[in-house]
Amino acid sequence: MTQAPAASRDARRRHDREIVALAVPAFGALVAEPLFVMADSAIVGHLGTAQLAGLGVASALLVTAVSVFVFLAYATTAAVARRVGAGDLRAAIRQGMDGIWLALLLGAAVIVTVLPTAPALVTLFGASDTAAPYATTYLRISALGIPAMLIVLASTGVLRGLQDTKTPLYVAVGGFVANAGLNAGLVYGAGLGIAGSAWGTVLAQFGMAAVYLFVVVRGARRHGASLRPDAAGIRACAQAGTPLLVRTLSLRAILMIATAVAARLGDADIAAHQIIMSLWSLLAFALDAIAIAGQAIIGRYLGAGDAQGAREACRRMVQWGIAAGLVLGLLVIAARPLFLPLFTSDSVVQEAALPALLLVGFSQPISGIVFVLDGVLMGAGDGTYLAWAMLVTLAVFAPLALLVPALGGGLTTLWAAMTLMMTVRMLTLWLRSRSGRWIVTGATR
């Protein structure tokens, strides 16, 4: 009678240690990423309003371009973790190298696309006549660093799959420090203006990519893995990443629709929406850290053929997601009167944001479940289901959101639709997790 509860407690403690060991450094690395843009904004902002506006447009384009390829990290994490679980580190690193080669090819394709189309892209994103030249300059120079950014994504996936989230944290922190120093030196010391900021970011990104490549190449040599590009392996990585690309594009479409609808509601509503979205994104980093742990842990269990261990780990991570969501939600609700004045003193904007912030707070436990199960299914390599589930979510959300202005709804109604969107995601992911169809053991899915 006492052995079973004791064994259950031991299993929970083991899972807790694994989750904390992977999630805490992952959270630090995730938070470090937006600091790049913040550092650039702080430095370029002193050059003038036009330069800062140009940076804002170019950064939005770059973030969009890179986020589309986030599957390089997700798919690589799952594939590498499976082979780690199967005890084949050589094949794990070989799989990682295929992902890195794919990142390099995609990065080169993006450069070829962005360089000649930069002025048109800047205009499409609504840059003013005074800001457009600065945006074009920053975009063209920064585009040269996209291969490095994508190599960083793929290499991060390799290390996560190898159950290492500390190295990405160290590299992210080092990259942030280097980026800030290079930007300040090139913008003001060398007098290069916004071009100096772009070159500083490019150099920092290539520095990060070089560190990652050193770590991965060292591991490849230690385990006898080939470093040469393998057409079949690269093609397999692309095929595995395609469903996750569909998932990511669908999610980006949801966020863009929400912003477009908020803009139609009026200046106060779009201002309040931007404040809420910044908080929502910050909360997502905390929950995504647990999801990253889920990708690595689930992939390893399935690779080792331990279906029961995968189920238990999934169950425990869902509990973590709910608990984290409850804590974050309570913090949002309690701190909302203090949070809003940090962004605006306009009482109209604050009044528009307050009820929507309540919805964000109450929905955080739902978000916790969504992020965790998203990570679990990614770790299982269940990308096709994730793609279809997100398309269904988009199909539900889009008409509801677009009806908000027509029906006279405000920002609170829009965020009610966002809450419903997260609820639909939760239901689709929960149904899949309950079905057990995601549990496919072995070194490959």
With vertex at residue 75, the alpha carbon angle to CA 72 and CA 76, rounded to the nearest 5 degrees, is 75
pLDDT in tens, 93-118: 999 999 999 999 999 999 999 999 99
**Cβ-based neighbour number of residue 166 at 10 Å:** 16
**Cβ-based neighbour number of residue 368 at 10 Å:** 29
1: pLDDT confidence band, cut at 50, 70 and 90? very low
Burial (Cβ within 10 Å: 0-12, 13-18, ≥19) of residue 277: middle
What's the confidence (pLDDT) of residue 49?
Answer: 77
Is the pLDDT reported for residue 3 higher than 70? no
Rounded CA separation 219/216 (Å): 5
Give the pair of three-digit tokens for residue 189: 């010391």
What's the confidence (pLDDT) of residue 298?
Answer: 95
Rounded CA separation 434/315 (Å): 10
Lowest pLDDT segment from 96-105, 172-181, 343-352: 343-352
pLDDT in tens, 214-243: 999 999 999 999 999 899 989 989 998 999
Rounded CA separation 300/311 (Å): 12
Inter-residue contact 153 to 100 (CB < 8 Å): no
Instruction: Name 68's Cβ contacts closer than 8 Å, sequence gap at least 6.
Output: 245, 248, 249, 252
Rounded CA separation 106/362 (Å): 40
What's the confidence (pLDDT) of residue 186?
Answer: 93
End-to-end, the C-alpha distance of the chain in Å comes to 38
Instruction: Name 58's Cβ contacts closer than 8 Å, sequence gap at least 6.
Output: 122, 134, 135, 136, 138, 139, 142, 198
Helices 364-379 & 347-362 angle (0-180, nearest 10): 60
How many residues would you count in the chain?
A: 445
pLDDT in tens, 34-79: 666 667 777 887 788 788 878 878 887 887 778 889 889 999 999 9
Q: What is the mean pLDDT of residues 427-441?
A: 95
What's the confidence (pLDDT) of residue 444?
Answer: 84
Rounded CA separation 320/323 (Å): 5
Predicted TM-score of the model (pTM): 0.88
